[in-house]
Amino acid sequence: MFFDDYDTPVFRPPSEARSFILRLTRGCAHNQCTFCAMYKGVTFNVCTDDEISRQIAMAAQYGKDFVRRIFLADGDALVLPTEKLLKILAVLYKVFPNLQRVSSYAAPKDILRKSPEELIKLREAGLKLLYYGLETGDGELLKEIKKGVTAEEAVEAGQKVIAAGMKLSLMVIAGLGGVKGSHRHAIETAKAINLIQPTMLSILTLRLYKGTEMLAKYENNKFELLSPAGLCREAREFLSNVDIKPGHTIFRSNHVSNYVPLGGTLPQDKAKLIKELDESIEQLSDLTDWEVYTNMEY
């Protein structure tokens, strides 16, 4: 049964709302990040060839000509061997005549495992965009959140994607370092972004999900969340230190988790974005009572 293939939660970036979600794995092979509850309780496994073929056949039956974008799920489809991904990409572009783009989440360790040549082959075969949760460029914080890579490796992973000619949508998490780590998180993340020069950059805000180590830390008073004004100050410090090549990066901070929606292109809109943040800081500074998003469920 087709729907049996979607038996555990499936996540996708907001920009893939119109895409055919093709599940290649269940869960995330890493599944250790302390803030992430996306695949908690899901045992990682690779979908069988039958499961993959069945999803493709069903999508082709219902809308062969309508499929223009395909997103490979779940958390890190890039964990699959390159040869297998190349075969799947070839089938997809054959079956869906109007397919324009295939994209996927990519964990840094998966990117690092691929050689530059493998990434180029994947891009040439139509894997055009990777979504990569950098989260922070601060090495100490990366260790704390158990991302599984050092700051240098996190940067190298992003640079490899860009060097292969793929588009890179990079996500960072505001508030991840809490009150104590906010300054370092902002500065070090800006440094990482400057080295990577991503195609797209978005800021999400930390929310504490049920069952995560981050939530336990907060409940044990070992982590202090930033206030809405504090988050804006952090975003301001981050953006002030971001140095992007002209006309290069689409910037978004309009995720549902954010208190202040922002959008523009960097570097040209940098001054405007900072001004908007200054206004928000002024408006939010006196706020003493705000909704704290903890114990969240998807």
User: Between residues 54 and 146, which has the closer beta carbon with respect to ligand SF4?
Assistant: 146
CB of 7 to ligand SF4, least distance (A): 18
107-166 positions binding ligand SF4, by CB under 6 A: 107, 133
CA gap 30, 23 in Å, rounded: 17
Decide: 145 and 135 in contact? Cβ < 8 Å.
yes
19-38 positions binding ligand SF4, by CB under 6 A: 28, 30-33, 36, 38
User: Between residues 145 and 231, which has the closer beta carbon with respect to ligand SF4?
Assistant: 145
CA 117 → CA 83, 87, 152, 171, 206, distances in Å? 12, 16, 21, 25, 35
CB of 168 to ligand SF4, least distance (A): 15
Binding pattern for the stretch 62-101 against ligand SF4, x by CB under 6 A and - elsewhere: -------------x--------------------------
User: Between residues 204 and 260, which has the closer beta carbon with respect to ligand SF4?
Assistant: 204
How many amino acids of this chain bind ligand SF4 (CB under 6 A)? 11
CB of 235 to ligand SF4, least distance (A): 20
User: Between residues 202 and 280, which has the closer beta carbon with respect to ligand SF4?
Assistant: 202
Q: What's the sign of the alpha-carbon dihedral 229, 232, 236, 237?
A: positive
Supply 98's token pair.
């109007």
Q: Of 232, 283, 230, which Cα lies nearest the Cα of 253?
A: 232
Other Cβ atoms closer than 10 A to 181: 21
